[in-house]
């Protein structure tokens, strides 16, 4: 192992070191523009690694991914502003924010569909509490950081008190894009 991140004990499970090392090597090449590969902040957020025995500690890698996502987001913003100006950037971010608002105005408990019958989803009350923080941000300027959204954990639930995971995850990914756009 390269020792890039701390590892879990011999009996613990962590991220596959080879996958992690390869991903971060690619990210470095892209960020430093030393290759033809492309990567965005959204690509970083969507990255996942296999869990293996004695792998890298997930918390350490996840923290590095958060910092990398923010760095790519800042770089994307700088490039866009250099080409189109800061006003155009803010208009783009505002447009993304407007696409979120319709769902935020739905009644609590009805903001997303329930999971398929018998499938587990996220506890709707947990998700709604986070969405209320987003509403406070958009309506009143209450502070919220993308890390709050990214690091949110929801209890598992089934039935009418649950939201399907996929739509919630997709919505929150878009919310993170908006928040990163103004951070």
Q: What is the pLDDT of residues 18-69, one digit of tens each?
A: 999 999 999 999 988 866 788 998 899 889 999 999 999 999 999 999 889 8
Among candidate residues 81, 101, 129, the one where a domain is terminated: 81
Q: Judge whether 3 lies within some domain.
A: no
Number of structural domains in the chain: 2
What is the rounded distance in angstroms from the CA atom of residue 89 to the CA atom of residue 98? 14
Q: Are residues 108 and 160 in the same domain?
A: yes
Q: Which of 54, 81, 108 corresponds to the end of one domain?
A: 81
Question: Are residues 102 and 169 located together in one domain of the fold?
Answer: yes
Phi, psi at residue 125, to the nearest 5°? -65, -35
H-type alpha helices, 85-154? 86-104, 124-140, 146-150
Determine the structural domain holding residue 28 and report its residue range: 13-81
The stretch 136-159 carries a mean pLDDT of: 92
Looking at the fold, whether 93 and 143 belong to one and the same domain comes out as yes
């Amino acid at each position: 192992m390269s020792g890039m991140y701390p590892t879990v004990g011999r009996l613990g499970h962590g991220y596959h070191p080879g996958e992690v090392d390869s991903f971060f090597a690619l990210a470095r090449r892209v960020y430093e523009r030393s290759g033809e590969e492309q990567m965005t902040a959204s690509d970083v957020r969507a990255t996942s690694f296999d869990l293996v025995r004695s792998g890298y500690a997930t918390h350490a890698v996840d923290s590095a991914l958060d910092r990398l996502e923010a760095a790519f987001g800042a770089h994307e913003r700088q490039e866009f502003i250099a080409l189109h100006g800061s006003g155009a950037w803010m208009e783009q971010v505002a447009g993304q924010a407007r696409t979120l608002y319709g769902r935020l105005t739905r009644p609590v408990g009805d903001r997303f569909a329930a999971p398929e019958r018998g499938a587990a989803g996220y506890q709707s009350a947990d998700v709604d509490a986070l969405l209320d923080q987003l509403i406070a941000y958009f309506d009143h300027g209450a502070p919220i950081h993308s890390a709050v959204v990214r690091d949110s954990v929801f209890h598992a639930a089934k039935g009418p008190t649950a939201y399907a995971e996929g739509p919630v995850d997709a919505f929150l990914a878009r919310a993170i894009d908006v928040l990163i756009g103004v951070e």
